[in-house]
Structure formats: C-alpha cells, structure tokens
C-alpha cells in the first residue's frame, strides 16, 4: 500500500504540491501517494481526523489552516513555535507533530540556489502577515545587519518587529509603507495581493547599489513586484518557485528521512 500524504487548503485545486512530492519520490522509486484535500473552512479538525483514519502519515498545510494546524499539534519545532503556525504535520504513534519549513525554504533558495547573501545585508520585508511570521526566524538566523518590516498597517509591522527583536542579534524595525525610506540590499515581498497586480505604491530609491529583490509568490509571468524592482535597477530578481520546492523538500526529508534533489523538480515546474 502506498505511503499516504496530502496537502490541506481551501482552495487547494491550484496546488503544485502533488507534482513536487511525486517527483521527489520518483528519485528513489518510493511508493508514495500525495493528494490534495480541500478541508471545509469550518472543520479543518474533521478533515485532519478523516485523513488519519484513511492511513495518512503526514501532511502539508496551506492557507488558511496553518494557525489551526499549530493548535492541533502535541509537539512543535522551535521554528514552528516562532511562527505560531505549522505547514508540515506528521504522526509519531498517536502524537501529532508540527514544523514550519517556509523560512528554511526561503533561505535555501536565496542563499544556495540564487547565491545571494543575507548575512551582513540590510533586508526589507514587505508585508506583516502569516507568511512573514513564518520566515522571520530563519531569516534572522542568517545575521543580516538590519531587518525592516513594512506593512500597509504600521501597527501590525511594529508588533511583529517587537516580537522578533527579543533574542535577535540584528535590529528588527517595523513601519508603514507610507513614508518608507532608507536603502536596502535585499527586498523580499510577502504581500500576496501582488500576484493579482495589486502591488502598493512604493517610493523610489529603496534599492541600494547591487540590491536584489525576491517575491514569495510565483507565476508564469514576472510579478508586478519583480517588474517594479527591475525598473528600480535591481541587480537580480526572482519569484518564489524555488522557495515552494525547497520548503517541500524540507518536509519530505522529515517524512521520509532523505532529502531529494530539488534542481530537476524546479526545472520541471518551470
């Protein structure tokens, strides 16, 4: 019988996760079945229990269930605890464990695949939602000289910055998008509306010489944020497809005990 895994979301029809995990399993000819499961908005717990009853071994969790998944876990990793959200679940006997692999996926894509540096750099993060909370811990572990979180609602960014300032060796600042100033070496966009052409207006002059720009979302065409960064003179830009594949590889390693080769999977998705 195939080892059963899935991704929970609502909606979830667009997810590429089955393609990714089946490609990973094929690298060692492992017998693995990975499904999309659209959980009812009002009954994620019921969907989780039904999946376990079907023999499910582990699951990925996407919008809007990451915080609910965190609350269902008997044990979570430190990075999941920092994020207050879980995107990877697995059972050990009756114990449900949770991790958040988003930040590790982002950092691996930026530092290893793209060969950009975070250490010693001034980093600007756009947005202050769950996606940002999920990546802040691994981002700060790379020791940037500064991280500024900028959001439409300044208060939300300021609260998030204070939460991550504790125990961080790098200054973490929060502010609104309006009146944003300074120059940054790495700009990361986590405003999901940007995928639909709804990027907020950003001031000129935010990119330092040689700055790079990364959009957490991905699509067939360059995103509005990527186009903005190119127009501002960014040395390089990237979408978030690599982050998607690398966070999946991190989850796969937790479940299966070996790390797949991500390069051919990214090439396949492109």
- Give tens-digit pLDDT for 25-34: 999 999 999 9
CATH number at residue 46: 3.40.50.10860
Say if residues 211 and 234 touch (Cβ distance below 8 Å).
yes
What's the pLDDT score for residue 194?
54
Identify the active-site residue in 66, 108, 121, 143.
Answer: 66
**Does residue 249 lie within any of the structural domains?**
no
Residue 94 inside a domain? The answer is: yes
Kindly tell me if the per-residue pLDDT of 75 is higher than 70: yes
Q: Look up the CATH number of the domain holding residue 199.
A: 3.40.50.720
The pTM for the full model equals: 0.94
Q: Are residues 93 and 115 located together in one domain of the fold?
A: no
Same structural domain, 63 and 124 = no
217 lies in some domain: yes
Listed in order, strand segments (DSSP E) in 1-157 are: 3-9, 32-38, 56-61, 75-76, 88-92, 95-99, 122-126, 146-151
Same domain, 132 and 159: yes
Question: How many other β-carbons are positioned within 10 Å of the β-carbon of residue 133?
Answer: 24
Give tens-digit pLDDT for 127-172: 999 899 999 999 999 999 999 999 999 999 999 999 998 877 889 9
Verify that 96 and 119 share a domain, yes or no. Answer: no
Residues spanned by the domain of 191 = 103-242
Residue 109 lies in a domain: yes
- Least confident window among 97-111, 150-164, 195-209, 225-239: 195-209
- How many residues comprise the chain? 270
Asked whether residue 260 is assigned to any structural domain, the reply reads: no
Q: Which of 100, 128, 152 is the last residue in one of the domains?
A: 100
Residues 208 and 115 in one domain: yes
Specify whether 127 is located in the same domain as 75. Answer: no
**Res 236: pLDDT:** 98
Does the structure show a pLDDT above 70 at 88? Answer: yes
* pLDDT at 15 > cutoff 70: yes
Judgement on whether residues 219 and 196 belong to the same structural domain of the protein: yes
Judged against a pLDDT cut of 80, whether residue 268 lies above it is answered with yes
Of 101, 3, 9, the residue nearest 57 (C-alpha): 3
CA trace torsion 240, 243, 245, 247 (10° rounding): -150
Is the residue at 146 inside a domain?
A: yes
Give the residue from 83, 100, 117 where a domain finishes: 100
Q: Can 66 be counted among the known catalytic residues?
A: yes
pLDDT band at 179 (very low <50, low <70, confident <90, very high): confident
Number of structural domains (the chain) is 2
Pairing type for strands 207-215 and 184-189 reads: parallel
Q: Are 69 and 61 in contact (CB under 8 A)?
A: yes
Label residue 197 by pLDDT band (50, 70, 90). Answer: low
Q: Is 269 part of a structural domain of the chain?
A: no
Q: At residue 120, does pLDDT exceed 90?
A: yes
Average pLDDT value for the chain? 95
Mean pLDDT value of segment 246-252: 98
Residue in 115, 85, 125, 121 with CA at minimum distance from that of residue 102: 85
């Amino acid at each position: 019988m195939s080892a059963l895994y899935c991704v929970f979301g609502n909606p979830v029809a667009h997810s590429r996760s089955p393609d990714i995990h089946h490609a990973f399993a094929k690298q060692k000819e492992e017998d693995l079945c990975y499904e999309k499961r659209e959980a009812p908005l009002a009954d994620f717990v019921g969907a989780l229990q039904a999946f376990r009853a079907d023999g499910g071994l582990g699951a990925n969790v996407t919008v809007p269930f990451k915080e609910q998944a965190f609350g269902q876990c008997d044990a979570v990793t430190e990075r999941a605890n920092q994020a207050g959200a879980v995107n990877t679940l697995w059972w050990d006997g009756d114990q449900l464990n949770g991790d958040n692999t988003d930040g590790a996926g982002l950092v691996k894509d930026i530092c290893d695949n793209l060969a950009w540096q975070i250490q010693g750099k001034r980093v600007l993060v756009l947005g202050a939602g769950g996606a940002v909370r999920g990546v802040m811990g691994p981002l700060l572990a790379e020791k940037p000289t500064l991280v500024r979180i900028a959001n439409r609602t300044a208060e939300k960014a300021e609260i998030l910055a204070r939460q991550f300032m504790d125990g961080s060796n790098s200054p973490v600042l929060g502010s609104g998008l309006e009146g944003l100033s300074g120059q940054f070496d790495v700009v990361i966009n986590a405003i999901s509306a940007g995928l639909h052409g709804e990027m907020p207006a950003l001031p000129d002059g935010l990119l330092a010489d040689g700055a790079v720009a990364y959009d957490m979302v991905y699509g067939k065409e360059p995103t509005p944020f990527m186009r903005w960064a190119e127009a501002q003179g960014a040395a390089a830009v990237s979408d978030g497809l690599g982050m998607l594949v690398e966070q999946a590889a991190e989850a796969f390693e937790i479940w299966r005990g070996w790390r797949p080769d991500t390069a051919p999977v990214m090439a396949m998705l492109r």
